[in-house]
Amino acid sequence: MGIEPRFGIACLGRVNMVYENDRDLMIRFYKFVAKEEAACDEAEFGPDEFSERMVYQQKLQEQQLEMLKYMRQFNLDDQSAILDKLRQQLEIANFDGEASVLSPEQIQETVRRRVSPLFTPRGAS
């Protein structure tokens, strides 16, 4: 297309820095980026594989939404612990999409461990 990829990515990165306080613009910008990525995927994978990927993405987003709804019943400290657990899980899985969801059981276990740790370091009484 005539644009050096590194230059293009650097320019797109500046959009976030310059307009980080313009919430509406950033939402529209990321919607545009998502549409552009979808168009590239469709061209790369063809209609059948692209359709399968879109169904997978839709299911994953539904699971993420349910997880977020479930998380909201916990206090903010618990939510932070849950998000930290999710971040760790994503890093370990090299940011694989399936690692972006915690089950209700995993969430409960994370909160339980935060409330009652398995051990108390000496001198922490």
Q: Determine the average pLDDT of the residues in 23-38.
A: 88
The rounded percent of the chain whose pLDDT value lies above 70 is 89
Is residue 107 within 8 A of residue 71, CB to CB? The reply is yes
Which tops the pLDDT comparison, 11 or 31? 31
For residue range 44-83, list pLDDT tens digits in order: 898 999 999 999 999 999 999 999 999 999 999 999 999 9
Query: pTM for the complete prediction?
Result: 0.64
Domain ranges of the chain: 1-57, 73-116
Backbone angles phi, psi at 66, to 5 degrees: -60, -40
pLDDT of residue 117: 59
Nearest to 104 by CA among 76, 63, 75, 62: 63
pLDDT digits (tens, 9 = 90+) for 113-125: 987 655 555 554 4
Mean pLDDT of 101-115: 93
Q: How many residues does the chain have?
A: 125
